[in-house]
Amino acid sequence: MKKKIAAAIMAVTMSVASTGLFMTTQAFSLGDLGGIVKVAGVGFLVDKYGEQINSFLNSVLKQNNLSTTYTTKVVPIVSVGNKGYIGAAQVTGPASEVERVQAVAQIEASFNSVARIKGLVPIDSKNPTNASRIQGVGVSAIIDLRI
């Protein structure tokens, strides 16, 4: 599976490179372009390998006596601030409601400069500004994708 993921990342990188966005011969930082590649990479990986990641998570949770009888699904995490894919999450709940989940919205806030708070909300769209919360569905795992 690692080889497939590496190949997927390479394909995304090569497709971005072939569009002519890497025209300079000077040393440079990927900066915003690096962010674009990561955003596209996360979306691609979740679409392509979400079911396999979900199965893997379910088996890991089962081995540790933490399995669920509810339906699970892996979806991208979208940031409310910049509307980009920033990771992946496994959601769990009744099958009819889990089917409706398209993404998990991440909302960040600071509490009296003492704590950083991240709200993770299952939603019915990959665009968090036009989405509605899916009631009865929770986030059961966060997947950090190395890109």
pLDDT digits over 38-93, tens only? 555 677 888 898 999 999 999 999 999 998 999 999 999 988 765 566 789 999 99
E-assigned strands of 30-133?
71-79, 85-93, 103-111, 115-123
The pLDDT confidence band at residue 33, using thresholds 50, 70 and 90, is: very low
Summary count for the chain: helices (H), strands (E): 3, 5
Query: What is the pTM for the complete model shown?
Result: 0.69
